[in-house]
Amino acid sequence: MRTEIIRIDPKNIDSNKLAVAAEVIRNNGTVVFPTETVYGLGGSAYSDVACRKIYAAKGRPADNPLIVHIADTQDIFRVVSEDQDIPMEKLSKLWPAPLSVMLRKNRLVSDVCTAGLGTVVVRCPDNPIATELIRLSGVPIAAPSANLAGMPSIVDATDAILDLDGKVDVIIEGESPRYGLESTIIDLTSQPYRLMRPGAFTLEDLQYAFGQIVLQNTMEEVKVPLTPGMKYRHYSPKKVLYRADPDDLVELSRTDEGNKYAFLCSEETGNRVEGYKITLGKRGDLYTIAYNLFRSFRALDRSTKSMGIIETFPENGIGLAVMNRINKASVRFR
């Protein structure tokens, strides 16, 4: 398939150019577009045909449902059933944001999109290109992260083109997502609400907005996955990645064995590591660590080292999501 690449200046959005992509969505085609979290691979959430194309382009298992994106909080009723409790006032205040919510779906949303589940996960992204694309398309857009299944999420247009050229109808080149990490998902169908996936919207902010939030157990402890996504290995570089505390990275780097590794580490740890380093940012600046996380996985794959070892971080703020992604992508060192 021929992929059209459309460059959009986020500061001066050319609606005529975006209209081409919107037309593709309306005709049940696929469009890769930027959001504030990661790049998404979108199609009409109302169309089985479009949703099937999304799974096919990603190589995503058909039982792992897609998040639906809307342009405005009120549009939630184009996606979810009306006869349920929805905290509209709070959502209106919080959205647009990297926060996705699970509710019972309505009949319009494709069963392919939700993998046959009675629920749908929906969010309002905080990115002007995404919002304008959804508006012009006239339909909610189902869009999982634009990476090929199992690979790190895509946070740069160049990687979107490398991985998806020829697999989708359109790739929109915009600015790099501000967070570089996926949205937080909460289940609004249970009381109290449950955290299903930590993400760019922090747990602390969720608790501030909604009060008590039930946390999921770690992946190892979960017998029945809360979300189909939990069954699958995620976000991983192609090379083997270990994780360890800063001191263990430093110690390993000073041994002969250390030569085999790329060290994915904070600046502070990097100052003590002797060897090949991929720097994530200041240890105290977890937003920058998050921003560079998937980039560091790709840098590891491009490096000449046969494996990597990444530093572990505190689980406060966005650190909870950072460690969730690191834990899924790596095995503990020794």
d(C-alpha 320, C-alpha 286), whole Å = 10
Compute the residue count for the chain.
Answer: 334
User: Would you count residue 182 as binding ligand AMP (CB under 6 A)?
Assistant: yes
Q: With respect to ligand AMP, which residue has the nearer C-beta, 86 or 307?
A: 86
Number of residues interacting with ligand AMP: please give it, by CB under 6 A: 17
* Token pair of 155 as six digits: 């946070």
As given in the structure block, the two tokens for residue 104 are 């019972």
CB of 122 to ligand AMP, least distance (A): 9
- Residue located via tokens 């760019």: 200
Q: Name the residue among 284, 331, 281, 39 with its Cα closest to residue 157.
A: 39
Query: Using CB under 6 A, which of 28, 35, 110, 114 touches ligand AMP?
Result: 114
Q: Is residue 30 a contact residue for ligand AMP (CB under 6 A)? A: no
Binding to ligand AMP (CB under 6 A) within 161-180 occurs at none
Tell me how far, at minimum, the Cβ of 43 lies from ligand AMP, in Å: 13
Using CB distances below 5 to 8 A depending on partner kind, what does residue 270 bind out of ligand AMP, Mg ion, none? none
Nearest distance from C-beta of residue 141 to Mg ion, angstroms: 15
Q: Residue 101 to residues 87, 192, 268, 289, 300: CA-CA distances in angstroms? A: 11, 13, 37, 25, 33
Instruction: Pinpoint the alpha helices (H) of the chain.
Output: 15-26, 48-58, 88-94, 128-137, 157-164, 203-210, 246-253, 267-270, 286-302, 319-329
Interaction residues for ligand AMP, span 251-270 (CB under 6 A):
none
- Contact call for residue 145 and ligand AMP (CB under 6 A): yes
Is residue 228 near ligand AMP by the rule CB under 6 A? yes
Smallest distance from the beta carbon of 122 to Mg ion, in angstroms? 16
**Least Å from the CB of residue 329 to ligand AMP:** 14
Given candidates 131, 227, 269, 324, which one binds ligand AMP under the rule CB under 6 A?
A: 227
Is residue 35 a contact residue for Mg ion (CB under 5 A)? no
CB of 318 to ligand AMP, least distance (A): 16
User: Does residue number 119 form part of the binding site for ligand AMP (CB under 6 A)?
Assistant: yes
**How far is the C-alpha of 31 from the C-alpha of 330, rounded, in Å?**
30
DSSP state of 112: T
| Residue 185 sits in the site that holds ligand AMP (CB under 6 A) | yes
Across the chain, the runs of DSSP E, i.e. the strands, are 4-7, 31-33, 40-44, 67-69, 99-104, 119-123, 141-142, 170-173, 184-187, 194-197, 240-244, 261-266, 276-281, 307-311, 331-332
Task: Please report, as residue ranges, which positions from 66 to 105 form the binding site for ligand AMP (by CB under 6 A).
Answer: 67, 102
> Binding string to Mg ion for residues 119 to 148, with x set by CB under 5 A, is what?
--------------------------x---
Residue that has been written with the tokens 């998404």 in this structure: 40
Give the footprint of ligand AMP on this chain (CB under 6 A): 64-65, 67, 102, 114, 117, 119-121, 144-145, 182, 185, 197, 227-229
Residues that bind Mg ion in the complex, under the rule CB under 5 A? 145
